[in-house]
Amino acid sequence: MKSFLQPIMTPFKRSEPEQSRKISSGITASGTVLMLVIASLVLTACIASPALAGTKYMSGSPTLTVSIVGNNEFTPGTTVPLKLQVQNSGLNEIKFVQTGIIDTEDNPSTAKMVTVSLLSGNSPALIKSDPQMIGDIKGSQSIPATFEVLIPDDAKAGEYNLPVELNYTYLQNAEQQGTDSVTYRYVDKKVTFDLPFIIQSAINIDITDVKTENINAGGSGFITLTLKNSGTDTGENAVANLSRSGNSPIVPVSSSVYVGTLAPEATVAAKYKVSVSKDAEPQDYPIAVSVVYDNADGETMVTPTQKVGIPVGADVDFTITSDTPEMHPGKKEFVEVTYRNDGSVPVYGAEVRVSAVDPFTSADDLSYLGDLKPGESKVARFGLTVDATADTKLYGLDSEVKYRDALDDSHVSDTIKVPINVVSTEGLAAIVSSPVFIGLIIVLILGGGYYLYEHRRKQQNR
């Protein structure tokens, strides 16, 4: 029995340590693989997401400058847009990058909430614009600002300074507390710059007097302007130019007058010929005047345009003031018509022509009126014949007046209706002019002639 069991039990005992080793060996391999996987994941995470670093600026501040864009020379009597350029040349000098630093919202070199103020200083210029807020200006950035500047008429020539004030705020430092908060310290600053500003030598023109001659709608006349140099400089080789203002009905015929030297406070008269359109109403209309001259530096300059109103009279108009003449059918008669000058200027060499139409005929349709002052009347005389078959009623014949103005220019008036009343003949005149009466007279004359003829023939036969 013992020998039978021995072979069986022995393999079992020998195999127990081997099985344990196999199990232990399997557990150790699996743990090693798991640790390698975890280490790989951690390493990958570290490579993909490195530790974040913040930026801190240790020094730096804004450096602002101002300059005029374009020309800085201007003339008296003008309003100019003065464009300024504000530039920030500030730099961040030291930058510190480290893990755990919180990034700041502003840089020390940024000028924040910049306000620009332009002042007159010692110049005669008048600043018409208020201070301007132009916002934040980062380092190496520039922003424009434009101001309206008025140069008075009496401004003296010379070089002046226009002060410019810049008010702004910038980040002086940022102090971090712990890992989640930062304290900002801002500083307010004001800087002033003087910009060179030149007022050129110039004259200024005022219109002190206006005289007109025969300025009326549809005609021509003269305008005499008295010009005064109200500036502080002298203009040489000055030429006063007259020009039409917009759609004004006054149009210069002669537009330039040489006035020579214009010293301060000097006056000069300039006379211009103008024409006025026919549709102008009796009211004031503008014209424009400017002077071209050489200034003290030998430069050709032009004064600001001055406008002045010119009174325009009504168009020359004629009115018939006489009673309506009467005519009779079948007769030639002379009719007298009175014409009155209802315009605002005199007319010269006026003559009137009437247009005879059926049932009227005329061999004497032109009448001379001569010169007529405003409000003056004269009589025209026409020889007209009315056809015997004309209806008895009121007719209107066209007439027009041809005349010359003060400048000897010829004009023709609008059509003027001449009323003529054709009436039937009455009384003895009606009987005498009757066809029956005329026929009877003819019969009597013929009968009388025949009687006399027969009477003489009979006496001769005896």
Q: What confidence score (pLDDT) does residue 371 get?
A: 96
Is it the case that residue 52 has pLDDT exceeding 60?
no
Helix or strand or coil: residue 201? Answer: coil
The span from the CA of 261 to the CA of 263, in Å, is 6
CB distance 424 to 390 below 8 Å: no
Instruction: Name the residue ranges covered by the structural domains of the chain.
Output: 2-50, 56-199, 206-311, 318-424, 428-462
Beta bridge partners of 284: 311
Helices (H) and strands (E) in the chain, counts: 3, 30
Is it the case that residue 20 has pLDDT exceeding 50?
no
Average pLDDT score over residue span 205-219: 91
Highest-pLDDT range among 60-69, 101-110, 220-229, 435-444: 220-229
The span from the CA of 198 to the CA of 71, in Å, is 9
Provide CB contacts within 8 A for 18, sequence distance 6+: none
Instruction: Please determine, looking at this structure, whether the domain spanning 318-424 carries the CATH number 2.60.40.10.
Output: yes
Residue with tokens 């030149």: 198
Q: What confidence score (pLDDT) does residue 439 get?
A: 74
Average pLDDT score over residue span 325-331: 92
CB distance 349 to 341 below 8 Å: no
For 237-288, the pLDDT digits (tens) are: 999 999 999 999 999 999 999 999 999 999 999 999 999 998 899 999 999 9
User: Sign of the CA dihedral 426, 429, 433, 436?
Assistant: positive
Q: What confidence score (pLDDT) does residue 285 get?
A: 96
Element (H, E) at 366: strand 366-372
Question: Looking at the chain, how many residues does it have?
Answer: 462
How buried is 266 (Cβ within 10 angstroms: 0-12 exposed, 13-18 middle, 19+ buried)? middle
| DSSP 8-state secondary structure symbol assigned to residue 154 | T
Same fold, 206-311 and 318-424: yes
Helix/strand/coil percent split, the chain, to 5? 15, 50, 30
CB distance 323 to 418 below 8 Å: no
203 or 49, greater pLDDT: 203
- What average pLDDT does the structure give for the chain? 82
How buried is 7 (Cβ within 10 angstroms: 0-12 exposed, 13-18 middle, 19+ buried)? exposed
| DSSP 8-state secondary structure symbol assigned to residue 187 | E
CB distance 240 to 260 below 8 Å: no
Q: What confidence score (pLDDT) does residue 448 get?
A: 76
Is it the case that residue 27 has pLDDT exceeding 80?
no
The span from the CA of 163 to the CA of 381, in Å, is 83
What is this structure's pTM? 0.59
Highest-pLDDT range among 92-96, 297-301, 317-321: 317-321
Instruction: Please determine, looking at this structure, whether the domain spanning 56-199 carries the CATH number 3.40.50.2300.
Output: no
Is it the case that residue 25 has pLDDT exceeding 50?
no
Pick the range with the lowest mean pLDDT from 84-88, 128-132, 318-322, 425-429. 425-429
For 356-413, the pLDDT digits (tens) are: 999 999 989 999 999 999 999 999 999 999 999 999 999 999 999 999 988 888 899 9
Is it the case that residue 104 has pLDDT exceeding 90?
no
| DSSP 8-state secondary structure symbol assigned to residue 140 | T
The span from the CA of 283 to the CA of 273, in Å, is 19
Domain covering 206-311 in this structure, CATH number: 2.60.40.10
Is it the case that residue 107 has pLDDT exceeding 60?
yes
Q: What confidence score (pLDDT) does residue 61 get?
A: 82
